[in-house]
Amino acid sequence: MTTLEAHKPETLDIHASSDNYLTHSKGFISWACTLDHKRIGVMYLVGVLGAFFVGGIFAILVRTELLAPGPTIVGPFAKWMGMDPADVYNQWFTLHGAIMVFLVIIPSIPAALGNFILPVMLGAKDVAFPKLNLFSFYLWVIGALMAVLSLLMGGFDTGWTFYTPYSTTSPAGGVIPIVAGAFILGFSSIFTGMNFIVTIHKLRPPGMTWFKMPLFLWAIYSTAIIQVLATPVLAITLLLLIIERTVNIGIFNPSMGGDPVLYQHFFWFYSHPAVYIMIVPAMGIVSELISVHSHRHIFGYRFIAFSSVAIAMFSFIVWGHHMFTSGQSALMNTIFSAISFSVGIPSAVKVFNWTITLYKGNISLNTPMLYGLAFLFLFTIGGLTGLHLATLSVDVHLHDTYFVVAHFHYVMMGSALIAMIGGLHHWWPKITGRMYNENWGRFAWVLVFVGFNVTFFTQFMLGSQGMPRRYYDYLPEFQTYHVISTVGSYIMSVGFFITAGYLLASLVNGKRAPANPWGGRSLEWQCPSPPPHDNFKTPPRVGDCYDFSIVRWSDEENGYVVDRSLDPSLRENPTPAKGH
């Protein structure tokens, strides 16, 4: 018995006890005033998933309206709200876009999953500034309330980009609240980014050098840099927009010498990096999923790490590709087109490395892994169609068609959100201490994956044939595609409802999760599920977080354990059990 313990001292620490972060204290205040990164992460998760539900309702409204040319379901809404059907439709897709971008995808991975996992992955007790972390969360809440306020004040129909002069002249009553809400959400994002940068710099445990960090942390770090550097530009732009709308004159208004294209430049100087705020952490999750669930050391660690940083750098110099048809000079267009292609290089570096990691791996097709594989497939399509759009001559034709909508959804939903759902399943046992039903998980994945492709691949065809964005009416020749796309969105919704169902059911009757259900090596798997209030009783031992050779299944634990007796370099010199 003693020899067994000598070889795997970790097992002494990994048993879930009745005192964990969920049971540590009780009551509303213990959550509302908590400084525990895990509880803040869970609160973000609940908020983000709630916003995802609301944004999803608007998506389904939009898709249902498009089942047939002419008004399909907008009619009754238009009559009830006393508005033109086109305006009602404008509000629907605007709400869908603004909610999904600002309230769901941007905070989903860094703020919700990142908050929970990052300090545990570092073996730290918490983030560097716990109070600032809670403050960021409340800023998110205020931003969400502003979106609700905007709806109560008459909604907004500007598109999620708030382009001037639509946004400064639109008669919709809710423009100022939603723009102010996006401004506040921006600060939530900035403070979260600052917190994570300092945490990663200052709270790495002894032995965890930069190149021993899990790749998820590299991705969160790159994301945080973009958040800190790009978001202030959006903040000032939105502030100037609010002032302009209030006093009816401003620097984006051409009547007195202002420049509306300046708004687009400023907006995309933030919002292009912002799409990397959404996708880079997703890539971090995929690095974990692919490696852990194929039980194989990640291939090309440094390349993946540096490509995250490279994408962050490139993100700042490609914004003009959103404005090829906005009257930029031909020279500017050419430069932006050329630089945009170069983003393909670090993205492809990642995809190749993930694919090689799979090669000869011992792949477990668990739900998280299925989402990881879906990411590989969908991101490849999303990324390659990005090259079509970066090509000037093609973009002039495809601009403002469904091709752009399809490309955007392949990257933002098919990649960022799918990775987020994969990460949610991957860390669900850690967060809740319960296992979800794997069969239901796989079944729902099939619906989501098939539904997604049916919905959005069709839209590439619609777009290339000239179906423009943002119209509720269209020529009869497009109807077949629209019907297929809408049916796909219904299939996907069923998949998401099933997902919500089995995840919630697992909280009630799920099996107790072991500390390490998947066979991971990074530090969060050396901590009980769910983690105790202070994460680690004793500082965990840092090793190579992708070396799975010393991870083995244990029937006793009903999960994986790190067994150092399997490590030949440690066999002659076993770690003494004392002190653990």
Rule CB under 8 A: which residues touch another protein? 24-30, 33-37, 119, 124-132, 190, 194-195, 197-199, 201-203, 228-229, 231-233, 235-237, 239-240, 243, 247-251, 256-259, 262, 266, 269, 533
CA distances for 172 relative to 150, 157, 181, 424, angstroms: 9, 7, 16, 37
Looking at the DSSP bridge assignments, the partners of residue 551 are: 562
In the bound complex, what is the minimum distance in angstroms from residue 252's beta carbon to another protein? Answer: 9
Q: Identify which of residues 70 and 539 has a Cβ nearer to another protein in the complex.
A: 539
Whether the link from the prior residue into 532 is cis, omega within 30° of 0, is no
In the bound complex, what is the minimum distance in angstroms from residue 25's beta carbon to another protein? Answer: 5
Q: Identify which of residues 463 and 540 has a Cβ nearer to another protein in the complex.
A: 540
In the bound complex, what is the minimum distance in angstroms from residue 579's beta carbon to another protein? Answer: 18
Three-class DSSP category at 251:
coil
Q: Identify which of residues 145 and 236 has a Cβ nearer to another protein in the complex.
A: 236
CA–CA separation, 109 vs 208, rounded Å? 23
In the bound complex, what is the minimum distance in angstroms from residue 120's beta carbon to another protein? Answer: 12
Looking at the DSSP bridge assignments, the partners of residue 401 are: 468
In the bound complex, what is the minimum distance in angstroms from residue 135's beta carbon to another protein? Answer: 13
- Cα-Cα-Cα-Cα dihedral sign, residues 62, 64, 66, 72: negative
In the bound complex, what is the minimum distance in angstroms from residue 205's beta carbon to another protein? Answer: 11
- What is the number of residues in the chain? 580
CA–CA separation, 21 vs 39, rounded Å? 7
In the bound complex, what is the minimum distance in angstroms from residue 539's beta carbon to another protein? Answer: 11
Q: Identify which of residues 154 and 205 has a Cβ nearer to another protein in the complex.
A: 205
Q: Identify which of residues 69 and 130 has a Cβ nearer to another protein in the complex.
A: 130
| Number of alpha helices (DSSP H) and beta strands (DSSP E) in the chain | 22, 4
The dihedral formed by the CA atoms of 369, 372, 378 and 382, expressed in degrees to the nearest 10: 180
CA–CA separation, 32 vs 40, rounded Å? 9
* DSSP code at position 558: T
Q: Residue 508 is which amino acid?
A: V
Q: Identify which of residues 23 and 364 has a Cβ nearer to another protein in the complex.
A: 23
CA distances for 362 relative to 426, 427, 563, angstroms: 17, 20, 19
Contact partners, residue 98, CB within 8 Å, separation at least 6: 147, 156, 160, 178, 182
In the bound complex, what is the minimum distance in angstroms from residue 42's beta carbon to another protein? Answer: 15
Q: Are 288 and 294 in contact (CB under 8 A)?
A: no
In the bound complex, what is the minimum distance in angstroms from residue 477's beta carbon to another protein? Answer: 44
CA–CA separation, 306 vs 346, rounded Å? 8
Q: Identify which of residues 131 and 578 has a Cβ nearer to another protein in the complex.
A: 131
In the bound complex, what is the minimum distance in angstroms from residue 425's beta carbon to another protein? Answer: 27
Q: Identify which of residues 42 and 418 has a Cβ nearer to another protein in the complex.
A: 42
CA angle 221, 183, 96 (to 5 degrees): 90
In the bound complex, what is the minimum distance in angstroms from residue 276's beta carbon to another protein? Answer: 17
Q: Identify which of residues 218 and 252 has a Cβ nearer to another protein in the complex.
A: 252
Q: Identify which of residues 123 and 414 has a Cβ nearer to another protein in the complex.
A: 123
Q: What is the largest CA-CA distance in the chain?
A: 84
Q: Identify which of residues 126 and 288 has a Cβ nearer to another protein in the complex.
A: 126
Three-class DSSP category at 559:
strand
**Which pair of structure tokens corresponds to residue 406?**
């399809």
